[in-house]
Structure 1
Amino acid sequence: MFSELSPMKVVTIAIVAIFIFGPDKLPEFIRNATGVLRKVRAFADSAKQDLRSELGPEFKDFEFEDLHPKTFVRKHVLDGDSLAGVEEIRSALDPRPELAEITAAVRDTADGRAPGAGSLAKGAQATPPTRHVFDPDAT
């Protein structure tokens, strides 16, 4: 929670707190603040326990942290820490093999050769196209 606070920032906050509350009232303020935090934590824990008891015995080991999207996906989709499912999905959705096949077929056709297996011409034998002379200065 406070991982982004550097020691210099903590010292600055302490000096500002001393100026605002004074050195004699600062310990009392800190005690009151920690007491409020303890009460809020106790209230949150009580609410979690009440919710677990209302859900029934099949949700006794239910953790609220599991509702975080990353944790949910890691637990239910990836089956723990295995990444085999992700790699399988990634390879199934990868368009590179199909694009390489189409590129090879287009190159074969453009070079005047008969297209190879898996070409764009399905079932029909493609005739080599006639080459048109291209003049780059004309365009």
Structure 2
Amino acid sequence: MLTITRALHDQIVAHAREDHPDEACGVVAGPAGTGRPERFIPMLNAARSPTFYEFDSGDLLKLYREMDDRDEEPVVVYHSHTATEAYPSRTDVSYAGEPGAHYVLVSTADTDGAGPFQFRSFRIVDGEITEEDVRIVDAY
């Protein structure tokens, strides 16, 4: 189960709304070993595409160095789908390189960026997708 604060949930949804019709992407980092998402890090979709997202390699390297310096890890890796449901595509699965992360998808399809949005979380390990419950809390 992914437990996430309302504030982080709302930031992810706002990012998806802002970048629509292109896919939005980012990370929520947390203290290493806790599994607790805390620090919202919106990223630029280097592909600038409504059907694909890609982290800029330089930005990603900088992010991982920063997380390492802060003793953090990527707890949530998120992106939006602008034309399909919030479910990992084959491409999403092939890029899922963080077996400990929650992969959150927000669908802005059929909303013109206005909402309401699907917000779903998955674990993706060795190509296997498992949907998990999302619990939104006011604070940890």
Fold match by TM threshold 0.5 = no
More strand by share: 2
Which structure has the higher relative contact order (CA within 8 Å, separation 6+)? 2
Q: Normalised by the size of structure 1, how large is the TM-score?
A: 0.21
TM-score by length of 2: 0.20
The structure with more radius of gyration:
1
